[in-house]
Amino acid sequence: MATEVKVPVLGESVTEATVGEWLKQPGDAVAADEPIASLETDKVAIDVPSPVAGVMGEHKVAVGDTVEVGAVIALIEAGSGAAAKPAAAKEAAPTPAAAKEEAAASGDTVTMSPAVRRAVLEHGVDPTTIKGTGKDGRLTKEDVLAAAKAKEAAPAAAQASAPSPAPVAAAAAPGRNTERVKMTRMRQTIAKRLKGAQENAALLTTFNDVDMSAVIEARNKYKDLFAKKHDVRLGFMGFFAKAACLALKDVPSVNAYIEGDEIVYHDYVDISVAVSAPNGLVVPVVRDADKKSFARIEKDIADFGQRAKEGTLTMEDMSGGTFTISNGGVFGSLMSTPIINPPQSAVLGLHRIDERPVVVNGEIVIRPMMYIALSYDHRLIDGREAVTALKIIKEAIEDPTRMLIDL
């Protein structure tokens, strides 16, 4: 008897996905609940587990195919993996490359996300020889890329130490090549959502600059104690998240969105934090940020960043959100006009910190300054409200005491 493997429920309002890769090939032994395929949805990669133990049967769909929830994608045959393997295959020892691929695909020896599995197979590295830097020792894509780079450097070093060969004719100039790669479902969705935001919202951006002296002084003074007590680094995002909460409470429209001919207001603040993932930008949500401590916010953001690299964020992590913060400053951006994350109506953009001359009490002084930007939907938020919200954030960062006494 063969058991059908069906596409599981993918999340709220998600009805289809793309087959990202097959983790098990026909004839491979499969344990119950062991991942056999990876599906790419609009937001995350999801492993499809085997409903029973047995042998991997026929693949009903191919990599790159679009499948709907409930569709049959494979069959699991009854029996043991050992019995299903040809006798010759048992006797012949696998090549190192095959052993690596089998270990990477099965994940028996190393816990890996779909994104990491792909990197292992693409670069032909042995995951059992790589020390994982992720949570609980998990491998990250960066770990695999570093191992691949070291692997490439080793033969080059050996070649450099070997005697120089006799001169040969100069090689022909490299050609001008192009490559077509199908967009991932996540990248397609990002493209559609961002274009939709431009077409459906009346976007406008207001700017201000912030003196970061007080926040930098507070971080330098308390970062060691903070890290020791909470086991997390004290960053800038906690300050800006708390400052944004003050602004959103004072200017409720910035924390609202338009739905049909109605305005939906929120009495809570769920902040979406833009995080760079291997397949694109994702926005996991820090829920009830207005009620959380600095430490809890920083822990949530650090956890999101780590899981984004590992490809283990879930649909639940990224659903909802009433306001977004995007920090282009970590990549060196001086100034930008961030785009809203629909259906939200506003996004705060942070940028790099530069020492610049400013006038303070009639004197020119050098201060660590950051440009901040608030992009907003002008259909809902008036210019006065947007400027007021950004000014509240600026004042809270320049005088963090405001965040404690809720001014």
Q: Could you give the residue numbers annotated as active site?
A: 378, 382
Single-letter code of the amino acid located at 286: V
User: If we measure between CA atoms, which residue out of 216, 230, 352, 375 comes closest to residue 295?
Assistant: 230
Torsion of CA 84, 87, 93, 96, to 10 degrees: -40
Burial of 348 (0-12, 13-18, 19+ CB in 10 A): buried
Q: What gap in Å lies between CA 352 and CA 55, rounded to an integer?
A: 54
User: If we measure between CA atoms, which residue out of 52, 23, 58 comes closest to residue 38?
Assistant: 23
Q: What gap in Å lies between CA 313 and CA 304, rounded to an integer?
A: 7
Whether 15 contacts 1, CB under 8 Å: no
Q: Three-class SS of residue 141?
A: helix
Whether 318 contacts 233, CB under 8 Å: no
Which residues lie below 8 Å from residue 290, measured CB to CB, with a gap of 6+? Answer: 245, 248, 249, 268, 269
User: Phi, psi at residue 324, to the nearest 5°?
Assistant: -120, 145
**Rg (the chain; Cα; Å):** 26
Single-letter code of the amino acid located at 207: F
Q: What is the DSSP letter of 95?
A: P
Q: What is the DSSP string of 70-82?
A: T-EEEEEESS-HH
Q: What is the DSSP letter of 321?
A: -
User: If we measure between CA atoms, which residue out of 151, 325, 156, 122 comes closest to residue 243?
Assistant: 325
